[in-house]
Amino acid sequence: MKKVLINTFGCQMNEHDSEKIAWIMEGMGYGPTMDKEEADVIIFNTCAVRKSAEDRVFGQLGELKELKRRKPEIVLALCGCMMQRDDIRSYFLKKHRHIDIVFGTNNIHKLPQLLNRHQESGKLVVDIVEDTREIEESVEADRKYSYKSYVNIMYGCNNFCTYCIVPYTRGREKSRDPESIIREITDLAANGTKEITLLGQNVNSYGKTLDRDYSFVDLLKDINEIDGIERIRFMTSHPKDFSRELALAYTSLDKLSPHLHLPVQSGSNRILRSMNRNYTREDYLEKVSWIKELVPDISITTDLIVGFPGETEEDFMDTVRLCQEVRFDSAFTFLYSVREGTKAASMHDQVSDELKHERFQRLLDTLHPIGLELNRRLIGTIQKVLVEEVSKNDENMLSGRTDGGKLVHFRGTEDLIGKLVNIDIREAKTFTLEGVLV
Ligand code: SAH
Ligand code: SF4
Ligand code: F3S
């Protein structure tokens, strides 16, 4: 059997797109491999969200030059968010002559055609669709896990946060039909999926592009009815559209996991305005208080950007204070990274790298003790854990996630993978828990 190696960078959208690419490739007779020496086709699914993500792609692609020289018959394909940018694409094509196929985020279903075209002509094939994903409801996915699956509910983004490249790489917002989503999840459940994660850049605005009145909460209610599904998660919800109705859904839908990822980005109203986030610090705190009142044990996580243009010490301290007030279970923290073509890239008062790093460290020093304290509170409780895999460092240890999304390590055997088990939590660290099977 021929082999394909898919190297995925970036977020869950990309991970899930890679699962679809794997499925398409399998249909063409290519099995998966992780070994580039054994691969007939190598696909890089790229991410453009920060410079560091792009640098990783450039670095690893450079390493393939030598391989291509040795094995000219190997096919190298690039896809994903970086490819949607004209400037980056032309840079790649000029600089890396060893690339054979380039496609984008909106047309992965065309891969078989592109591969054939390249194999017939021996020439570089480039195919990019600028705007919204050509909806390819029929593309299935070779899912990495059988018991937990990603499901796209919408594509693209219309928010244009001033720092963010995603609206330019993923096109305009478009919701999938509810029937098609429900059908997909029902099939997944029939095949053993217990946990689903609904994917969209802003799931709270799901339904806006449909021709009838049907909201994200309506969708959650319908999914909650599907037999076999035990946990529903979603990524990501935008605070501006986080509704009271969604907060209430946590109390009425038994399968909705008590976890909310609600990216705040900054705690300063001045910076939030300049980021075009369309909510204030007060709005955010109010929404968090709704959910905490309704679901006291909920775990709340967030994304934070440090060093956005114009961020002063006072703005930064507003972020620190907001973190102390909300008490996030954990957070993804990022140094602001200039993305050409976005509004913030041309803002004048860019923050120095030195200051960004210094604030970044102070932010972690704020977040980590809170995360640890919240984890310690779980010591002595019994948590329901979906067992995911054997630990990389110790074959007698398993890892899985609690309802709240926390990573737990415990002793157990491989046959438990994919099952829901009860774990008595004994120890807590900043990022993980340890426990024993009960
Ligand atoms: N749609 C999601 C976020 C997708 S990008 C949302 O709005 O919540 C994931 C995270 O990357 C963002 O939440 C933000 O914190 C970070 N990010 C995006 N662009 C960035 C940039 N230019 N520099 C640093 N971090 C960035
Ligand atoms: Fe980017 Fe903002 Fe859209 Fe999220 S909501 S993808 S941060 S533009
Ligand atoms: Fe995701 Fe990176 Fe694209 S974060 S949407 S893969 S730019």
Give the start-to-end residue ranges of the domains of the chain: 2-127, 148-376, 382-437
Binned at pLDDT 50, 70 and 90, residue 415 comes out as very high
Give the whole-angstrom CA distance, residue 235 versus residue 259. Answer: 10
Ligand 3 neighbour 291 (Cβ under 6 A): no
Structure confidence at residue 145 (pLDDT)? 84
H helices within 210-334, ranges in order? 216-224, 244-252, 269-274, 281-294, 313-326
**CA nearest ligand 2 atom 2, residue:** 161
Ligand 2 neighbour 160 (Cβ under 6 A): yes
Structure confidence at residue 131 (pLDDT)? 74
Q: Which two tokens stand for residue 284?
A: 């955010």
Give the whole-angstrom CA distance, residue 330 versus residue 301. Answer: 5
Binned at pLDDT 50, 70 and 90, residue 133 comes out as low
> Which residues, 6+ apart, have CB-to-CB distance to 252 below 8 Å?
none
CA–centroid distance, 161 to ligand 1, in Å, is 9
**CA nearest ligand 1 atom 18, residue:** 164
Contact 33, 5 (CB under 8 A): yes
Q: Which two tokens stand for residue 188?
A: 């997944």
For residue range 195-218, list pLDDT tens digits in order.
Answer: 999 999 999 999 998 999 999 999
Structure confidence at residue 392 (pLDDT)? 84
Q: Which CATH number fits domain 382-437: 2.40.10.120, 2.40.50.140, 3.40.50.1980, 1.10.3720.10?
A: 2.40.50.140
CA–centroid distance, 199 to ligand 1, in Å, is 15
Q: Which CATH number fits domain 2-127: 3.40.50.12160, 3.40.50.2300, 3.40.50.1110, 2.30.110.10?
A: 3.40.50.12160
Ligand 2 neighbour 162 (Cβ under 6 A): no
For residue range 313-341, list pLDDT tens digits in order.
Answer: 999 999 999 999 999 999 999 999 999 99
Environment class of residue 254 by beta-carbon count within 10 Å: exposed (0-12), middle (13-18) or buried (19+)?
exposed
The domain 148-376 having CATH identifier 3.80.30.20: the answer here is yes
Structure confidence at residue 135 (pLDDT)? 59
H helices within 351-395, ranges in order? 353-376
Structure confidence at residue 155 (pLDDT)? 92
CA–centroid distance, 337 to ligand 1, in Å, is 10
Ligand 1 neighbour 166 (Cβ under 6 A): yes
Ligand 1 neighbour 339 (Cβ under 6 A): yes
Q: Which atom of ligand 2 is nearest to the CA of 236?
A: 4
Give the whole-angstrom CA distance, residue 288 versus residue 302. Answer: 11
Ligand 3 neighbour 196 (Cβ under 6 A): no
Q: Which of 234, 334, 353, 360 to mutate to test the pocket of ligand 1 (most atoms within 8 A of CB)?
A: 334
